[in-house]
Chain A
Amino acid sequence: MRHVAKKNNEPAPKPLSEPVLLILTSLAAHPRHGYALIQDIELLSGGRVRMSTGTLFGALRRLLEEGWIERFEQEDTSRQKQAYRLTGVGRTQLEQELERMKDLTRVGFARLKTMEAR
């Protein structure tokens, strides 16, 4: 019987919801304000996701509470143009999620190839 050792005692992180993943990905390159996030997310998803302001700001509030993003005022703009950027914790969470998705994708394609080879 094979025993697979656990890497550590920490529980596996929960998969991120789609809005959260899209927001973190959008902020990965550089900071953005609210409307720029909506536009970039639409672009990132190939036009599939058009996030409403209610969904966007609900997710932003949760991410701020978790400390995964931070809010700051861009120079020469009003309060209405607060911008958001990833924190170190947020970047780590995004990297972990992308790694998880990469592993899943690799396993998925490997199984498909096995199926085709039969």
Chain B
Amino acid sequence: MKRAYRFCLLLYPRGHRDLFAEEMLHVFEQAAAGRGGDGWLWQFHFAFSEIAGLLSGAAEAWLAPKPATRVAGTAASYVPQELLEAQRRVDAKIAAMVQAIANHQFERARQLSDQERIARANLHALRQKYGDELGMSF
């Protein structure tokens, strides 16, 4: 269960993971321990609601406008096309991974997770190439 939870945390954007992943896992462990004496039906209900909460939370975290863009408006026109394409590839892999998990296609989700890691490494390399002076968070 803990392993599944860790895996689902990978679906969140990097910023959210850096800020909350460790804490979320700890709270999840506490909550699971608190449900320890409950029957299997409650355990199942708990596991289901946690996974569903993570999937919807991850989707929301990706779709929510970032605070910087809310305040300062978009700077997309100044971002190199290559960088935008790389970001879109990462987003597409994440969306496909969420879909695969929702459909219980875990093998496919694992493949997409590997592809997402490669796409993210490519994005990171491009960010280093173009510099981070644009101030956009990816």
Chain A bound to chain B: yes
Chain B positions within 8 Å of A55 at CB level = 53, 56-57
Known contacts: A34-B23, A53-B50, A54-B57. The answer to whether A61 contacts B16 by CB under 8 A is yes
Across the interface, B26 reaches (CB within 8 A) one of A51, A52, A80, namely A80
**What distance in Å separates the Cβ of A65 from its nearest Cβ neighbour in chain B?**
5
At the interface, yes or no: A111 with Cβ under 8 Å from chain B?
Answer: no
Give chain A interface residues in 37-89, CB to chain B under 8 Å. Answer: 38-39, 50-58, 60-62, 65, 79-82
- Min Cβ gap B18→A in Å is 11
A-B contact count (CB 8 A): 64
How many chain B residues touch A (CB < 8 A): the figure is 25
The listed residue (B27, B49, B52, B61) touching A58 by CB distance below 8 A is B61
Chain B 42-66 interface 0/1 with A at a Cβ cutoff of 8 Å (1 = within) = 0000000110111111101100100
In the complex, the chain B residue whose C-beta lies closest to that of A60 is: B20
> Taking CB as reference atom, which chain A residue is nearest B66?
A65
**A34, A53, A58, A62: residue with the most chain B Cβ atoms closer than 10 Å:** A53
Query: With A and B bound together, what is the CA distance between A55 and B23 in angstroms?
Result: 14
**Cα distance A81–B22 in the bound complex, in angstroms:** 10
Contacts of A58 in B (CB 8 A): 56-57, 60-61
**Chain B nearest CB: distance from A93 CB in Å?**
17
A to B CB contacts below 8 Å, 11 in the list: A34-B24, A51-B53, A52-B53, A53-B24, A53-B31, A54-B50, A54-B52, A55-B56, A57-B20, A57-B23, A57-B27
Given A34-B23, A53-B27, 18 additional A-B pairs, CB 8 A? A34-B24, A34-B26, A35-B34, A38-B27, A38-B31, A54-B24, A54-B50, A54-B55, A54-B56, A55-B56, A57-B23, A58-B57, A61-B16, A79-B22, A80-B22, A80-B26, A81-B26, A82-B23
List the interface of chain B (C-beta within 8 A of A): 16, 19-20, 22-24, 26-28, 30-31, 34, 49-50, 52-58, 60-61, 64, 67
